[in-house]
Amino acid sequence: MLDLLKNSCEKFPNRNAFFISNVFYTYQQLAQNISRVRQSLNEKINGNKLVGILVADEISFEVYSSIFGVLFCGRGFVPINIQDPIERISNIVEQCNLRFIIANIPNEKTDEIEKHCKVSCLFSSQFPDSEINISLPNLDETQIAYVLFTSGSTGIPKGVQINWKNVNSLLAAFFEFGYNIDENDRFLQMFDLAFDFSIMCYFIPLSIGACVYTISSDGIKYSNVYTTLEEHKITFAAMVPSFLSYLRQYFSEILLTDLKYSFFCGEALHEDIISEWSHCVPNALIQNAYGPTEATVFCTVYNWQRENIKIKNVNGTIPIGKPISNTYIIIVDDELNELPNGSKGELCISGAQLTAGYLNAENNDRTFFSKEIKGETTRFYRTGDLAYFDEDGDLIFLGRTDNQIKFHGFRIELSEIEFHARKFTYPSEPVAIFYKNNLGIEQIHLFVEDYKNDLSALKIFLETNLPYYMVPNSISTIELFPLNKNGKIDRKALFNFLQSNTRNM
């Protein structure tokens, strides 16, 4: 990827690389900033394989420059959200063995991080100017490009290490689709940099000399996205499906004739809403993709057909499609035996995009396994997702085998929310439920059994111990949890209760 970015900077120095907070930044400015970061890091760090980068809701040009400055140093980057609780940041620092975190300017949070996490903060605003140097570093394909952290059921986040082989395989597979895109295209980037879907939203456009349009954190996000799509004539928009729920009330007013590709990933995509959305983007190819962080952003794609006589959907959701290049997928039973097409089981992934594993090797045995396929030993990742191959070879997604969800694109273990809530409510038991409210918007609700104390205090506790996207939208108490015939908490009954009569906090 770095050679493609280098080519963009040299071939299109005066073209715009980013549009951030109503300001355009050219490829020459990007090359200059990358060089500043690269030179300063080379003078300060020695032998460190990973460098942390502190990111906020409003992602600045300096943050993107810092990411590529780290990569051009031959190191890997670790995005850390400034809103995360200090204990979570400390855990990330420890797992990655970080000694340095790049921030823009000193502030109270950087002071707290340095003190609590025993790490040095380097401030990009203080890096001196330097001559442009975007010569390619000597990289091995097994070197880590970045580490992203996903939710862990024990309350401890899991660090997924993605190497250059994984990244380059993703880019190669993407370009094999034959998209009609070049340096004149305009790409939407609306995601937190700690969310893996963001990777394709800026890696890919910068690889071809196109412009990345980011979203302001001021005001209402969905309104800002729509404004950006319309005013800047975005041609490639990657979004999570739940975002359409917020825009749905405005569909009759939306007409984006310049949009060529409407790409979705991160959650189940529902047939009814995508049919309505298709009228807003009459010239766009609509694609539904699937992939966990462990398989580098996405690894299957389905092209939604506007005039398809045979509409495919199961439980109202459209397929996740076929594996992309260099990806191999099987469906297995509980004993990890491969199942034939049409049989429902757990979706397991192999291929060039598959991570080498988690930073904490103890997590690997539970999620990776090897199996002989066509005479060769092949390593697979257990996704925990239920699926099957239909007669056309398309994967049909059926939900989770466990208690994990996708919310606003982030992968979340509901048990992690319960783990932290339980520390506050003990001996009262909490249960987190994922549901749609009366407006069709997905939310997380937390029930607490027979809890007499202040629920607002619990909400504050969770806000200080969980990332913002994991904090329940509402909390209520219930006298006694319903039980199923096996004596377990009947989550389905709680879900049905929420659907019919929820008293939100």
Q: Note whether 18 and 214 are within 8 A (CB).
A: yes
> DSSP strand E in 5-63: where?
16-20, 23-26, 50-55
Phi then psi for residue 183, to 5 deg, are -65, -10
* 338 and 389 together in one domain: yes
Q: Per-residue pLDDT tens for 326-367?
A: 999 999 999 999 999 999 999 999 999 999 999 988 889 889
Mean pLDDT of 24-50: 93
Q: Per-residue pLDDT tens for 220-245?
A: 777 888 999 999 999 999 998 878 87
The residue among 388, 391, 399, 497 whose CA lies nearest residue 447 is 497
- The pLDDT-based confidence of 505 (bands split at 50, 70, 90) is very low
DSSP state of 253: G
User: What residues make up the domain containing 432?
Assistant: 409-501
Q: Helix (H, G, I), strand (E, B), or coil: what is residue 31?
A: helix
- The pLDDT-based confidence of 310 (bands split at 50, 70, 90) is low
* 348 and 394 together in one domain: yes
* 35 and 115 together in one domain: yes
Asked whether the predicted pLDDT for residue 487 surpasses 60, the reply is no
Mean pLDDT of 477-484: 82
Of 139, 174, 203, the domain-final residue: 139
* 335 and 436 together in one domain: no
- The pLDDT value recorded for residue 216 is 81
- The pLDDT-based confidence of 401 (bands split at 50, 70, 90) is confident
Is position 160 within any domain? no
* 34 and 52 together in one domain: yes
* 449 and 367 together in one domain: no
The total domain count for the chain is 3
Asked whether the predicted pLDDT for residue 488 surpasses 70, the reply is no
Is position 388 within any domain? yes
The residue among 315, 179, 193, 295 whose CA lies nearest residue 237 is 179
The residue among 438, 451, 441, 445 whose CA lies nearest residue 495 is 445
CA distance 342 to 222: 38
Residue 402 CB burial class (10 angstroms; 0-12, 13-18, ≥19):
exposed
Q: What is the CATH number of the domain that holds 426?
A: 3.30.300.30
* 439 and 486 together in one domain: yes
Asked whether the predicted pLDDT for residue 104 surpasses 70, the reply is yes
CA distance 326 to 264: 21
CA distance 394 to 307: 18
Asked whether the predicted pLDDT for residue 504 surpasses 50, the reply is no
Is position 242 within any domain? no
Of 375, 400, 425, the domain-final residue: 400
Is position 318 within any domain? no
* 354 and 448 together in one domain: no
CA distance 174 to 4: 14
Is position 154 within any domain? no
> DSSP strand E in 265-373: where?
285-290, 300-304, 322-323, 327-332, 345-351, 368-373
Claim: this prediction has a pTM higher than 0.75: yes
Q: Per-residue pLDDT tens for 42-87?
A: 988 887 899 999 998 778 999 999 999 999 999 999 999 998 999 9
* 390 and 435 together in one domain: no
- The pLDDT-based confidence of 486 (bands split at 50, 70, 90) is very low
Q: What is the CATH number of the domain that holds 129?
A: 3.40.50.980
Neighbours of 344 (CB within 10 A): 13
Q: What is the CA radius of gyration of the chain?
A: 23
Q: Note whether 236 and 260 are within 8 A (CB).
A: yes
Q: What is the CATH number of the domain that holds 351?
A: 2.30.38.10
Is position 85 within any domain? yes
* 417 and 356 together in one domain: no
- The pLDDT value recorded for residue 400 is 78
Q: What angle do CA 100, 113, 30 make, to 5 degrees?
A: 50
* 134 and 38 together in one domain: yes
* 337 and 413 together in one domain: no
Of 400, 430, 453, the domain-final residue: 400
Bigger pLDDT: 206 vs 308: 206
Lowest mean per-residue pLDDT among 154-163, 215-224, 227-236: 215-224
Q: Helix (H, G, I), strand (E, B), or coil: what is residue 298?
A: coil
Lowest mean per-residue pLDDT among 12-26, 270-284, 424-438: 424-438
Q: Per-residue pLDDT tens for 107-134?
A: 899 999 999 999 999 999 999 999 999 9
The residue among 3, 2, 61, 4 whose CA lies nearest residue 33 is 61
Bigger pLDDT: 172 vs 419: 172
Is position 274 within any domain? no
CA distances from 343 to 99, 346, 398 (A): 48, 10, 12
The token pair that represents 357 in the structure block? 């594993």
Is position 387 within any domain? yes
